[in-house]
Amino acid sequence: MEKFPTRYVNLRSFMSVLNKENQELIECYINSYSNSFPKKKNSKRNIMNLEEIRNANSLFEEMASNQKITEGKLEGYILNYTFYSGVREEFDILRFGKKYNLNIELKSSIPEKDIKKQLISHKRLLEMLNKSAYLFTYISSDQKIYRLDESNQLVSVDVEDIVDCIEEEWEEKNYLNDLDLSDNIISPYSDPEKFINHEYYLTTEQMDIEKKILNIDYKLISLVGGPGSGKTLLLFDMAKKMTEKSKKVLVVLGAQMTEDESKKLTEIMKFDVEPIKNVAFEEKINDYDVVFFDESQRIWKEQFEWIISLKKPVKIFVGDQRQTFHQAEKNENIQKKLVKLGAKEFKLSLKVRSNPEMSSFIQKLLDVRAKNVSPFNYENVDAVFFDNVKDAQDFSLYQVRHNGFRIIEPTEYRTKSTYSLKRKKLFSFSLDVHKTIGREYDKVLIPLDNNFYYDNNGKLSSSYSEYYPYIEGSLLFESLTRVKKELTLVVIDNERLYKTILEILSWKIDTLVKNDE
């Protein structure tokens, strides 16, 4: 997202504007000093509720007249700030001090449970800045002030409590602009140690869904969400909480997992983690109280029917029907079957692992005619061209050894009749797509050979002519969505594709130049 300058408010000046009761002047002031900017081009700005601002003027007047207030304490307020970094949080008033940070929310009326929920969410973000945070909500309808205490309980306070939390010196910087949540958005499969040490972040949406699932009495549950929505992280967090309540829990991954990976995860997590091939049709599964099925869209028909027949365990299916690799998986449509069977369905609608720049590039790469996609500078995307495999291999090996990249290629397939190998890997040290399911990597390198082309509808397709049961577009999408920070595309002897990728990378610059002409 493009960075905008932060504008700071003097409370006494703000009060003078409000006291004029000039609607146009107030609107102009709020618009000018608002620090909320749209995430997408041509989107509307999120502007504060003007009625709540006018009603809060009495709070500002009390603060300004308090004997402990100083001119310094009236400076440095950030108005109407929206935080975007995988999650969205809206702050009415922020102030960054030398030792601690301040947040004041302005509401006309709101239930206490919603006040508490919002302030806790804000607190979690602000404390990532390694400073204490003081959080208040002012309710204008009954002129009450609530503070969130250290135990996350609401305490009724007065204006002087707010004034006591305002430092004389303040920081002329919005530190939330630099906060990157990507390190707190982890894959338990890739980072089990970080998970067990609780080095991760759950969004308000994730916590709401978790609370509902943990407190309902259903034997069949479906949790769905797209790539980056945090399904697996939420699954493991629920499994941990259920285990702490003495439930016997099993997590089944509907994808590849080695015996060593399974044993390591089970040992670290303190609940059992197994690939589906180890537990399908095994009666021992009936010994569990709760069984999670991760990547459930890839479960075979026979496996699904057998799982549904189990009587004892609560069955929680977690997946995304759009992330299927095989036509048989699409046809099976586990998600639709669960709905027909009366499963209680929960949907994660927000992307937690969301990088607007990367998302824009991926959408444009897969569909050059994609609509509602904004251009970026794509500073974290690179594309290199080689006219032969050997040079591409040498370059890629160097990136793996020296720069920490992980290479992802289409999964190899060996035919059952002739045992012929299809879609043979170009790199012996790469990961196939099926082994990356549920994982994320900081740096990803993806080779694109001369089978890739753009069809008449502008969609990236493959002309690979031999029998290959997997849907290559789905495999490529999965590969692209494994990246957290940096992406490198290695184009091999495919000039037309490389030219199009270069045009995407210079899309923003070309647009600016064109607009200036």
pLDDT (average), residues 416-432: 91
pLDDT at 37 over 80: no
User: Where does a domain end: 313, 348, 383?
Assistant: 348
pLDDT at 187 over 90: no
In a domain, 2, yes or no: no
Q: Which of 260, 337, 340, 355 lies closest to 293, judged by CA?
A: 337
Pick the more confident residue, 346 or 203.
Answer: 346
In a domain, 1, yes or no: no
Helix/strand/coil percentages in the chain, nearest 5: 40, 25, 35
**For residue 42, is it left (φ>0), alpha (ψ between -120 and 50) or beta?**
left
Integer Cα distance of 13 and 144 in angstroms:
24
Integer Cα distance of 210 and 88 in angstroms:
19
Task: Check whether residue 304 and residue 360 sit in a common domain.
Answer: no
pTM of the complete model:
0.74
**What are the residues whose beta carbons fall under 8 Å from the beta carbon of 145, sequence distance 6 or more?**
59, 136, 137, 138, 139, 156, 157, 158, 159, 161, 162
User: Where does a domain end: 315, 348, 381?
Assistant: 348
Integer Cα distance of 452 and 213 in angstroms:
43
Q: Which two tokens stand for residue 311?
A: 């009587």
Task: Check whether residue 365 and residue 498 sit in a common domain.
Answer: yes
Q: Which two tokens stand for residue 65?
A: 């007249």
SS3 257: coil
**What are the residues whose beta carbons fall under 8 Å from the beta carbon of 328, sequence distance 6 or more?**
none
Measured in degrees and rounded to the nearest 5, phi and psi for residue 312 equal -75, -60
Residue-wise pLDDT tens digits, 50-98: 777 877 888 999 999 999 999 999 999 999 898 876 567 889 999 999 9
Total structural domains within the chain: 3
Task: Check whether residue 95 and residue 173 sit in a common domain.
Answer: yes
Task: Check whether residue 372 and residue 487 sit in a common domain.
Answer: yes
User: Where does a domain end: 178, 199, 217?
Assistant: 178
Calculate what percentage of the chain has a pLDDT beyond 90. Answer: 62
pLDDT at 41 over 50: no
E strand or H helix that includes residue 360: helix 356-366
Pick the more confident residue, 349 or 396.
Answer: 396
pLDDT at 136 over 80: yes
Integer Cα distance of 190 and 71 in angstroms:
51
For residue 377, how many other CB atoms are within 10 A of its CB?
A: 13
Task: Check whether residue 62 and residue 27 sit in a common domain.
Answer: yes
Task: Check whether residue 171 and residue 198 sit in a common domain.
Answer: no
CATH number of the CATH domain containing 420:
3.40.50
Residue-wise pLDDT tens digits, 453-477: 999 999 999 999 999 999 999 999 9
SS3 317: strand
Could you tell me the residue range of the domain that residue 478 belongs to?
Answer: 356-516
pLDDT (average), residues 208-231: 91
SS3 499: helix
Q: What is the residue whose two structure tokens read 């590849």?
A: 256
